[in-house]
Structure 1
């Protein structure tokens, strides 16, 4: 995806959405403002029509208690009468539907469909004969007469037209400003995302998991950057472990493969040259090949165990007393002549039963390998820990931390069979189950004692 496409999908889209939201808000506010202004001005005109209506004077008795004649409103009154001040927008509707108005007043068009036609509404919009929009107040006088007081709406419509123009300009400017501001703010807000994207692209192109990730802030983008940094760190460590495992495995596999090749070459050369190998030497070569094949198979199996992902480990309740007893039975079958002194209490942890049994068996095999024949291997299993003690030569304090590394073997043990992976598997299993393994000082000062610690599952907690 190109940089322009990314902008279209993210920056421009956010700016467009921002502009649309602002435009919608401005339109809603403008519509309400326009209709509010229209309603307010109409109410003001209605109030002025009501204040200037001649109905009150036409219904007030004059001297002698005689009511004024409504027809005088149309210009037949004597000169000097006070009705002349109402001639600006006054019109009289007679009972027969005909109308009259003072001289010079633009007559309002009405539609008379019956005697109740002028009853409702009191205020209405109308138009004069000269097609001028007016606001009309209709008030009954009695005797079938109705007075129409009107006022031109030209000034109101001009004001509303100007207001609409102003609101339209403000809306356009608001949308433009909102879009520009949204685009600018989006660019500023997404700048960390752009940096993170460049880092991700660099890692994807170069496969350099050690590339630094520029992480700033504590917002969602900062959290994303830190999470990505942790992910690349974990991947880099996983890759390094795999590379180290492959390198160590290649080194360790080279020795048995070379020995096997040498023995096979001797057998093949003997067959090709027709010079038979003495029977005792031939039997020794075949026995050596068998031992080397077994050693190679064990090494491959242990490498497979070390290469397993921790996420493949099961997490189920495991009774450790049963695990210890099964591991002791398997070790006893493979270590003829050794005595296993076992004290096991019932306790439970959460994990993979097969891996835990393999770890305990590796501890027992290691104890048997370094113990004198017919010696005693003591096994103690109490809540949260398993201890295996042998009667061998022990291990130096400076070497206790290194024995759990892959393929590491002390100088005194290099002549003994084994791949140097047994204790490394124990350490990996312990770490995968939230525990640890270590060599501790033996209680009686003889041999070596290793302790495997594991978390205890307590029901109900």
Structure 2
């Protein structure tokens, strides 16, 4: 059986109606009992005012006179609807025409007291029993018919008001909920559209400064971030496919030559064969480096480790690795101890890429200068330098200047440096060299501050 679920606006309207109904019921019950208590107190006050007990306790007044033959319209009947005398022997008497109240054994308990009762004519009454001396007591009563009619009318009125209130509350709740959730409905349609079409550029039309507006803006930022991430991935895949095509084609050509030589039985001269194998080895190494750099660029920033890192140690390790790769170059290193929060592996790779880039563009035997101070690493070479209008483009993936296209490399080294700097809250840029020779790159990182600082 298909599960049926109420819409959010229907659930809110239903809850609103239930809360209003509960509130109306509580108020109605409280008002009904308050009215009942108030009317009972008024009847009790009228019984005390109309009771003949004070007259029957006067000197010389016989309580039996209450039931005498002289009691007519101007007698004790003028006080109240019903009055009767309770004798010490338990018998009762009353004026002519009075509907007696049914009395029980507890009515001889301490007096005066009020209670509810019934007459022999089955009329509900409010009863006041007061002692009048010599073992006698006077029983004064008043019909509760008016009170019960009033309470019944109040109950009916409260019931009708409750029903009308619940209906109005449900309708108003549904209407207000529709108005309040209209932005959510628009956002839901946008989300469903994006889920069906994967169109991350779809506009999110949610305004306002409330929670729904904040949700819409947060969702818009999320889709924008996802769209940018997808574009970066697409650009990376396209650039990688383009860059991989050249080394793969060259490797395939060399491999085809070797395979054809084996199949045809025509041996390749030893010198040419060694050149082919050396070329394959270099191309395989370049291809491996390119794949490794692509993996680094494809990593999510959330994968970056966040630990205290000593940049002095990072620079020392990167320089040692660069020395092993660049025989014949001199490294002039001046490093001060300072600490950042980040990924030690990524930071070392970024510094090593800067050093490799400086070595690649420096003539043999030249000096690569490395300066590491608090928050700043500068690497300067003795090469031809780079034009001012190209400095912003060198950090793009696969970008290479015209003069560098014949040199080894993939054009990803400085892009990795830029990505590492951004992931650690820093920056990287080319600056003017101190003596005007070569190129100088400044790598900035936020310094980890300690309590002592």
Q: TM-score range by the shorter chain?
A: over 0.9
Q: Partner residue of 2:373?
A: 382
Q: Partner residue of 1:64?
A: none
5 Å-filtered alignment, 1:45-60, equals: 45-60=43-58
Deviation digits for residues 124-161 of structure 1 (CA, Å, limit 9, x no counterpart):
11100100001111110111100011111101100000
Quick one: distance in 1 between partners of 2:211 and 2:439? Answer: 52
Q: Partner residue of 2:433?
A: 442
Q: Do residues 236 (structure 1) and 234 (structure 2) align?
A: no
The answer to whether the Cα contact below 8 Å between 1:138 and 1:149 also exists between their aligned partners in 2 is yes
Deviates most, 429-438 or 180-189: 180-189
Instruction: Please point out which of 83, 106, 111 is paired with 2:104.
Output: 111
Quick one: distance in 1 between partners of 2:105 and 2:87? Answer: 11
Q: Partner residue of 1:37?
A: 35
Q: Do residues 19 (structure 1) and 17 (structure 2) align?
A: yes
Q: Partner residue of 2:310?
A: 319
Quick one: distance in 2 between partners of 1:78 and 1:196? Answer: 86
Structure 2: give runs of 5+ residues left out of the alignment: none
Q: Partner residue of 2:129?
A: 138
SS of 2:55's equivalent? helix
Q: Partner residue of 1:199?
A: 190
Q: Partner residue of 1:304?
A: 295
Quick one: distance in 2 between partners of 1:315 and 1:85? Answer: 98
C-alpha change, 1:308 and 1:131, in structure 2 (3 Å) is same
Q: Partner residue of 2:262?
A: 271
Quick one: distance in 1 between partners of 2:402 and 2:95? Answer: 130
Quick one: distance in 1 between partners of 2:62 and 2:349? Answer: 122
TM superposition shift of 1:78: 7.5
SS of 1:403's equivalent? coil
5 Å-filtered alignment, 1:355-374, equals: 355-374=346-365
TM superposition shift of 1:273: 1.5
- Number of aligned residue pairs: give it: 451
What is the TM-score normalised by the length of structure 2?
A: 0.97
Deviation digits for residues 358-408 of structure 1 (CA, Å, limit 9, x no counterpart):
000000000000000000000000000000000000000000000000000
Quick one: distance in 2 between partners of 1:78 and 1:309? Answer: 107
SS of 2:442's equivalent? strand
Structure 1: give runs of 5+ residues left out of the alignment: 62-66
Q: Do residues 419 (structure 1) and 410 (structure 2) align?
A: yes
Q: Partner residue of 2:95?
A: 102
TM superposition shift of 1:15: 1.1
The answer to whether the Cα contact below 8 Å between 1:122 and 1:139 also exists between their aligned partners in 2 is yes
Quick one: distance in 2 between partners of 1:263 and 1:81? Answer: 139
Quick one: distance in 1 between partners of 2:396 and 2:423? Answer: 16
Deviation digits for residues 224-278 of structure 1 (CA, Å, limit 9, x no counterpart):
1111111100100000000000000000000000001111111111112221111
Quick one: distance in 2 between partners of 1:150 and 1:108? Answer: 8
The answer to whether the Cα contact below 8 Å between 1:126 and 1:133 also exists between their aligned partners in 2 is yes
SS of 1:452's equivalent? strand
TM superposition shift of 1:203: 0.4
SS of 1:215's equivalent? coil
C-alpha change, 1:347 and 1:246, in structure 2 (3 Å) is same
- Over aligned residue pairs, what C-alpha RMSD do you find? 1.6
Quick one: distance in 2 between partners of 1:414 and 1:91? Answer: 126
5 Å-filtered alignment, 1:177-192, equals: 177-192=168-183
Q: Partner residue of 1:92?
A: 85
Quick one: distance in 2 between partners of 1:121 and 1:55? Answer: 10
Quick one: distance in 2 between partners of 1:415 and 1:82? Answer: 134
Instruction: Please point out which of 383, 388, 393 is paired with 1:397.
Output: 388
The answer to whether the Cα contact below 8 Å between 2:80 and 2:142 also exists between their aligned partners in 1 is no
The answer to whether the Cα contact below 8 Å between 1:49 and 1:149 also exists between their aligned partners in 2 is yes
Deviation digits for residues 284-316 of structure 1 (CA, Å, limit 9, x no counterpart):
111111110010000000000000000000111
Q: Partner residue of 1:176?
A: 167
5 Å-filtered alignment, 1:211-250, equals: 211-250=202-241
Instruction: Please point out which of 272, 276, 282 is paired with 1:281.
Output: 272
TM superposition shift of 1:121: 5.8
Deviation digits for residues 70-124 of structure 1 (CA, Å, limit 9, x no counterpart):
11101334879754534731100000000000001111110135xx724246111
Quick one: distance in 2 between partners of 1:161 and 1:277? Answer: 117
Q: Partner residue of 2:116?
A: 125
Instruction: Please point out which of 295, 312, 331 is paired with 1:340.
Output: 331
Q: Partner residue of 1:252?
A: 243
C-alpha change, 1:201 and 1:81, in structure 2 (3 Å) is closer
C-alpha change, 1:144 and 1:337, in structure 2 (3 Å) is same
Quick one: distance in 1 between partners of 2:288 and 2:440? Answer: 28
TM superposition shift of 1:14: 1.1
